Structure 1
Amino acid sequence: MACVTDMDLDPSTMRKQYRSEIVLEDGLDEDPMRQFALWFRQAADSHLFEPNAMVVSTADAAGRPSSRTVLLKQFDARGFVFYTNYGSRKGREIDANPQVSLLFPWHPIARQVIVTGTAARVGRDETAAYFRSRPHGSQLGAWASEQSRVIPSRAELDRRYAELAARYPEGEQVPVPTEWGGIRVAPDEVEFWQGHENRLHDRLHYVRAGSGWRIERLCP
């Protein structure tokens, strides 16, 4: 079968030379979460659009993968937290297979952070505290959307939202949905990727080793 392409938009010719400082092992923090905090601050200070956006990749019990972009809402020594409907595709897949990958694609500064780890639900108190910090409209949206489920039309989604807005007007507390909450990914491996000229990128890889971490350099 012939390959149909837009001759004015050929991806094979799209190339960019990354010009940045070399990242050496002795300049890294021994703990990947502290190193992430440093890079995350630098990404935010670079005025990237949504530096907390990350691609979450999951797989079902049969190993079929799926990916989507979500927003990081918290990170600390325990791992990385995002929120979702537990009945969504990612929620169901995490229930079946808690091995998860996260990717922070900070393209404008030629950096990526890749996390591999184990996902688990956060406590309900933690979920409730975050839910109540969300804008009122986002709280209603969590109820209106049965995430990843088939819906007959946009009009049906808008109808559900309007009903909820009438039931819980601005200023009235919205209850926390029972099937919505936080997921924490506890890292087993974290890779810090810095792009360089001639594709000679830095890839610094943290791997759990007992109670600490081992840092190794990967070929680009």
Structure 2
Amino acid sequence: MNKIDITSLRLSYSQNELLEENVLENPFKQFGKWFEEALSAKILEPNAMHLATISGRKPHGRIVLLKGFDENGFSFYTNYLSNKGQEIAETPFASLTFFWGDLERQVRIEGSIEQVSEQDSDEYFHSRPRGSQIGAWVSAQSKVIEGRKILEERLKSLENEFKDLNIIPRPEHWGGYRVIPERIEFWQGRPNRLHDRILFTKVGDDWKIERLSP
């Protein structure tokens, strides 16, 4: 096996800059601007984000998909009984990280986390493809199973059970979470590793804007 020289892997970032005079005063509007640019750049799954939670003072991370954002926070959907759901119940704080490599950008979000309303969960659940709705019933997310055959058998069973239903009910154990940010950092790659880092910190009802050293 050939040895891979990871130390030689490097890029010089030079596409854009992020200066204080060009940053929008509201971090949600700044995020919206960058997200639209990520969409325009046709980045693969621009709504993919790393979600970090805590259990027993240890961090746990995985990639999930952003499904909505506004000035109330950033939302995603999952199984409440999954590992991440149990970790959130234990410690209701989380961080999100977006990495849009083609644009040499990152966004880091930290804050508290709460479940969205049942109405919001219902609306999103019923907007999903029928197969995904049934899949939410199939999977006991994060639990050990003996093999894929168990999933396929349960899928067939539930497809038969729901075949006469136009509307599949949302499982009580499945729904949305919202991360309510306290800090949002926008990171723009720059030459010589002197990256632009603009931090928004919530202070009362306002946002304080500061530059961080790279």
Instruction: Give the TM-score band, short-chain normalised.
Output: over 0.9
The alpha carbon displacement at 1:169 in A equals 2.6
**Equivalent position of 1:80 in the other structure:** 74
Q: Distance in 2 between matches of 1:173 and 1:210?
A: 43
Counterpart among 184, 190, 200 of residue 184 in structure 2: 190
TM-score (norm 1): 0.94
Q: Are 2:13 and 1:18 aligned? A: yes
RMSD: 1.2
- SS state at 2:108 partner: strand
Match of 2:36 among 35, 41, 57: 41
Contact 2:16–2:189 (8 Å) recurs in 1 = no
- Which residues in structure 2 correspond to 1:36-115 (within 5 Å)? 36-60=31-55, 62-115=56-109
Judge conservation of contact 2:75–2:177 (CA < 8 Å) in 1.
yes
Partners in 2 of 1:194 and 1:52 — Cα distance? 18
- SS across alignment from 1:36: helix
Greater shift, 109-118 or 21-30, is seen at: 21-30
Shift of 1:170: 8.1
Query: Which of 21, 27, 44 is the aligned partner of 1:32?
Result: 27
Identity %, equivalent residues = 44
User: 1:145 touches 1:157 (CA, 8 Å); kept in 2?
Assistant: yes
Alignment length (residue pairs): 214
Moved over 2 A (4+): 169-172
Matches within 5 A, 1:84-163: 84-163=78-157
Unmatched segments (≥5 aa) in structure 2: none
